[in-house]
Amino acid sequence: MAASLVFSAIKPQYYFSRKTDRSCPVLKHEQSSFIGETTSSRERCKNRGLIVTNIATKPPASSVVSPPKQEVDQNKGKLVAWKSVKQERWEGALDVQGQIPLWLNGTYLRNGPGLWNIGDYNFRHLFDGYATLVRLHFENGRLVMGHRQIESEAYKAAKKNNKLCYREFSEIPKPDNFLSYIGDLANLFSGASLTDNANTGVVKLADGRVVCLTETQKGSIIINPNTLDTLGKFEYSDNLGGLIHSAHPIVTDTEFLTLLPDLINPGYTVVRMEPGTNERKVIGRVNCRGGPSPGWVHSFPVTEHYVVVPEMPLRYCAQNLLKAEPTPLFKFQWYPESKGYMHIMCKASGKIVASVEVPLFVTFHFINAYEEKDEDGRVTAIIADCCEHNADTTILQNLCLQNLRSFSGQDVLPDARIPMDGSAYGSLEAALEPNEHGKGLDMCSINPYFLGKKYRYAYACGAQRPCNFPNTLTKIDLMEKKAKNWQDAGSIPSEPFFVPRPGATEEDDGVVISMISDKMGEGYALLLDGSTFEEIARAKFPYGLPYGLHGCWVPNT
């Protein structure tokens, strides 16, 4: 087997040449069948004339909180994507324009940083905000929306003391004196001062528990998906220790996989947790090949038999963590001399079957990965897809709230692409022409039944230039190398989340859910047909909501 690894910009592919460890099961190749649309990617989806067809029965009066009328008026005509949520909670039925499919029964949950101030103090970065959960409950063609703040210790302490009390992404509590600064450093090393503000993702475990997550391990919080109540911390029962983990674990009906960066002895521990337990068990470890610390691992992909561990030259930096004011790259540092790598670990044995150098890269989110096999069922390549920002670290600074709120019409969003090709050291190559998605792709989802398998479609946020943040929804066809785009000019859409239709045989048979912050200071829930990518329904919120990050689907039981 010739050694090669590919890393493509929307579609990073990693080809590796070493023989597969025989202790790992290698199954016969099962060809996935796709029956998909091939309509031109240039065709833009036009909003149809919609009428009110579904009006949900209003929930009991005790569960309804009136919207803040005065705040709505103040924000009229202003984009509220980057403004703090106006009240701690709200719940109510929404009027629906269009038709919600009757098969869509369940709850879409979206998590994200929605409160960027404490009293008169304003936070600096998008990732600093206190977590705001939004709930869209679909049942029999009707829709009820609610939102609520996650009651983390960081949020409750800030409310009680009217000041920042824990370390957020870029924010550090101001020490009263030198002794308190020394105490803060001690708390940093013990993890006591790190935030538990679970503002990044939300996942449904196989046993039914719903957990909100961020990159600190203590920021794992169980919530009730029906009421959005905070139920308590998700406490790991093992003794693996560590302070941080990947914000995006891989969650299936049979397992929970995540990476634990080791900041002392640079590397990554790959762990698995079985449904119904809180105990993580070690699969294996990857030692870093370069640099003074492990690279940032916000997310990672898996295939049927392998875990792909990325080692990015954007690395954790202890010196930056110790500083009282944020540096340009916050808790990270760019070490191009340390190079970039992809490591392939066998799930069954924990052994590293390939470690391949790749060009320098910067990515937040991997989309998916899968194995390519020969006629005898032997793995010949691994394809790992991600949204790669051309090794441009300015994406972190561009996400400062001041920059997001002060768009002047200049095109300041770094390019994103999809990488790969097949040389001995790996290379980056676009999976499709970057102009198809406006060179601004991120925040992706796929049909969950194709996780770790060969797939055709991805749904993401793209860009209509000029812009300073992704402002379109995009359906990527990796087979035809085309894209379909949806846009509401001047609006900011959140991550498009794909929900497959029960019993579907086509990969893109389902709906795409997104929440839109529009240019008039308002917002709405949006449903697109997963196949045609045309709008099928929308429901206006009582007032505009701030931007959110990632979501999950909780089906009705």
At 374, list the tokens: 């020969």
**Do you find a cis peptide bond into 466, omega within 30 degrees of 0?**
yes
Confirm or deny that 298 is annotated as ligand binding: yes
Characterize 112-146 residue by residue with b for buried, 16 or more Cβ atoms within 10 angstroms of its Cβ, and e for exposed.
bbbbbebeeeebbbbbbbbbbbbbbbbeebbbbbb
At 532, list the tokens: 């045609």
What are residue 489's phi and psi, to 5 degrees?
Answer: -50, 130
Confirm or deny that 248 is annotated as ligand binding: yes
Identify the residue whose tokens are 């997550």: 213
d(CA 230, CA 88): 13
d(CA 163, CA 168): 12
The DSSP line for 194-219 is B-----SEEEE-TTS-EEEE-SBTT-
Q: Name which of 511, 521, 527 is nearest 541 in CA terms.
A: 521
H helix runs in 303-406, sequence order: 318-322, 394-398, 401-405
Q: Name which of 152, 139, 170 is nearest 212 in CA terms.
A: 152
Q: Which run of H or of E encompasses 189?
A: helix 178-190
Confirm or deny that 137 is annotated as ligand binding: no
Q: Name which of 480, 460, 296, 314 is nearest 385 in CA terms.
A: 460
* β pairing state of 267-273 and 280-287: antiparallel
d(CA 343, CA 174): 40
CA atoms within 13 A on the CB side of 17: 12
Q: Name which of 479, 465, 473, 462 is nearest 498 in CA terms.
A: 473
Tell me which DSSP letter residue 44 carries: P
Does residue 251 sit in helix, strand or coil? strand
d(CA 63, CA 421): 55
Confirm or deny that 125 is annotated as ligand binding: no
Exposed, middle or buried by CB within 10 Å (0-12, 13-18, 19+), for 410? exposed
d(CA 401, CA 390): 22
CB-based contacts of 425, cutoff 8 Å, min separation 6: 5, 356, 357, 358
Please give the annotated binding residues for Fe cation, written as ranges.
248, 298, 365, 550
Please give the annotated binding residues, written as ranges.
248, 298, 365, 550
